Each structure stands twice: as structure tokens, then as C-alpha cells.
Amino acid sequence: MTRSGAAADHVGYFHEAVYYDTDDELLAVLVPFLSGGVDEKEPTVVSLGPEKASLVRRALPAGVLGGVTFMTGGSVYARPAAAIRAYRELLAGYVASGAAQIRIVGEIPRPSFGATWHWWARYESAINHAYDEFPLWSLCAYDSRITPSAVLADVARTHPRSLHADGSHRPSSAYAVPSSFLASWPPVPPDVLQTGPPLITLVDPTASRARGAVSLVDPGLPADEVDELVVAVSEVVTNALRHGLPPVRVCYWAGPDRIVVSVTDGGTGPRDPFAGLVPSRDSATGGLGLWITHQSCNYVAFSRDESGFTMRLTAGNPL
């Protein structure tokens, strides 16, 4: 079995960005892409928000529409580590069923271009590695009209190439391999809550004590979200105590709609550039705990400065 289309001679993941200014421009790229997949009997998946999905449904010929699987983009793109897990399971299933290639078009929802963009940029970079074991050809759509320029710059750095309405495939000169992009860790802007003093600061607490402090600052978030944050705080403090350097300082802030917890230790943070995004079976290095942390928070930010390594965890609304 061979792959079809532009990725025919490619091994592994063929990752393309699509920049569009109008719906017509988007459809000019997507319709041939999806039709080609259905024609070749390749698993062909659309993972867009409801409006764009409906646009695509209306534009596809009836014979193509029936061969396309529509996933609800919003839930897939709730958290990067969860998206990687869901897609990897989907891809593995298709390959097990004999697929020579899988085609997917996806779009990260617009709210992710705000305060939480950093971990989505890490997602876009990490998947070059995380999906590379699969014969996947995917298009990541970005609406140039609403996407901030800093986000577009990251898109160019994380997508090896782009596909255009005229059918051309253009390499990205700004592309950086994941190990390089993910190791750079640009400064992450603080949450606005962090302009005030923390409600609680703990130094070298046990994981148990650090967990207990979460409920003390909870403004009344849904119990599941608080529960997930407790799991994340436990994992991150455990990692800091085991793999970081003292002192381990844990600070808690809360606003009406969110809890922010920062965990700082004197070390340099995880060495694995894919830390947190790709599941690790190796509990000894803290990789599994970091991955669970990424599955359990609405935002996780890393930063590193002369004083050490900080992970910031957010439950509730991180925007």
C-alpha cells in the first residue's frame, strides 16, 4: 500500500499549515484535500469547530461527505496532552485497520490564541515527533484575520510546510525541529493574579501539605476541576522534591474563576523537551507525573530563570 497525494513519498508525519483569509480560500484547500482522501479510501477526518465544520459539510460533494469522519473540534482541542493522546489512539486504530495514510484537517479554537497559546505552540511542535510514527498527512488551519502575529510566527516555526489555495506546498524557512523549538522556553507572561501577593506560600512542603492548601484557596470552582488541580500539584511538588533542587517554593493565588499555583525549585527543570506532552511510561524520571499534570490542568506554563525552574498550574478559566 502506498500513500497518495503530496505526501506520497513521505515517511511519517506530513505536517502542513494552512493560512486563509476567507472561507473560500479555506475551502479551496480543504475540498481537494478531503476529496482526495475519500477517493483513495484513506481515513479522512475533519476536526473543526461547529461553524467551520458546517461550512465544509455544505461544500463537499455528496459522494465525498459520506466518507469523511467529523470530530467535534472543541473537545479534541481542550488540552494539548489530551489532544495528542486522542489523536495517537485514533491513528493507531486506523493503522491497525490497514490504512496506508490518514488525512486530518484540524483547527485549534480561537480562545487558545490568548493566554494559553504557549502550550499550544509546544503542541504544534511536539506533534512533529509524536505523530511521526504514523502515515499521517494533516492540515492545521489558521485564519489570518483573527490569529495574532506572534501566534502566526510560532505556526511558521512549528510547521515544516504550508499548503495554499493554488495547490502549492511551500517549505517554512522559519521551521525549527521540535527538540530546538521546545528547548527554547521563551518567557511566559505571568497570570494577572500574580501581580498581587500569593494567598499562601509554602517552602519545602510535603506533597500532602501542598495538596491540602489547594482547597484553602478554592473560590468555589467545580469539584472536578479542583480535584484535577490537586492531582497536578501533587505530581509537580513530588517531582520538584525528587528531581529539582531545594528550596521548593509553592505559591497559591485565586480569583473568582480560577486558581493558580506556581511551583519553583532551584533546578533547571525537565531535560526532555517533550516533557508533559508525550506520555512517558518512565515514572522514575517524573515524566509520567508531568504528563498527568498536563492532562489535569487547564493551563500549564514552564519558565526558567536564574533563580530556578517554575511550573505554573491553572484550574478554572486561564484566560
Partner 1 sequence: MRAAGAPVARPFGAGRHVCWAYADRAEFVAVARRFFAEGRAAGGALRLVGGGLPDIDGIRCSSFPDPAAELSTWAAATEAALADGYTGLWVVGDATPLASPAFAAYEHQIDRFIARHPLFGLCAYDRRVVDPAALADLACLHPTHNVPGVPFRLHAEEGTGHLAISGELDSTGTAALARALDRAAPAVVDGELVVEAGSLDFVDHRSLLQLASYARDRGATAVLRTPLPAAARLVELLRVPGIRVEAS
Spatial separation of the C-alpha atoms in residues 71 and 75, rounded to whole Å = 9
CB of 6 vs partner 1, minimal distance in Å: 34
Question: Is 288 near partner 1 (CB under 8 A)?
Answer: yes
Nearer to partner 1, 57 or 242 (CB): 242
Q: Which of 242, 103, 107, 128 is nearest to 178 (CA)?
A: 128
CA-based Rg of the chain, rounded to a whole angstrom?
21
Site string for partner 1, 211-230 (x = CB under 8 A): x-----------xx--xx-x
Cell of 301: 506554563
Spatial separation of the C-alpha atoms in residues 14 and 162, rounded to whole Å = 10
Binders of partner 1 in range 81-100 (CB under 8 A): 85
Q: Which of 297, 219, 303, 220 is nearest to 264 (CA)?
A: 303
CB of 184 vs partner 1, minimal distance in Å: 28
Question: Is 59 near partner 1 (CB under 8 A)?
Answer: no
CB of 294 vs partner 1, minimal distance in Å: 11
Spatial separation of the C-alpha atoms in residues 116 and 111, rounded to whole Å = 8
Quick check: 209 and 295 in contact, CB under 8 A? no
| Total of chain residues touching partner 1, rule CB under 8 A | 20
Binders of partner 1 in range 160-189 (CB under 8 A): none
Which residues are within 8 A (CB) of 195 and not within 5 positions of it... i.e. 6 or more apart? none
Question: Is 298 near partner 1 (CB under 8 A)?
Answer: no
Nearer to partner 1, 169 or 211 (CB): 211
- The sign one gets for the Cα dihedral 165, 168, 173, 176 is positive
CB of 239 vs partner 1, minimal distance in Å: 9
CB of 232 vs partner 1, minimal distance in Å: 10
CB of 178 vs partner 1, minimal distance in Å: 23
Question: Is 206 near partner 1 (CB under 8 A)?
Answer: yes
Quick check: 227 and 247 in contact, CB under 8 A? no
**Contact positions vs partner 1 (CB under 8 A):** 85, 206-208, 211, 223-224, 227-228, 230-231, 234-235, 238, 242, 283, 288-289, 292, 295
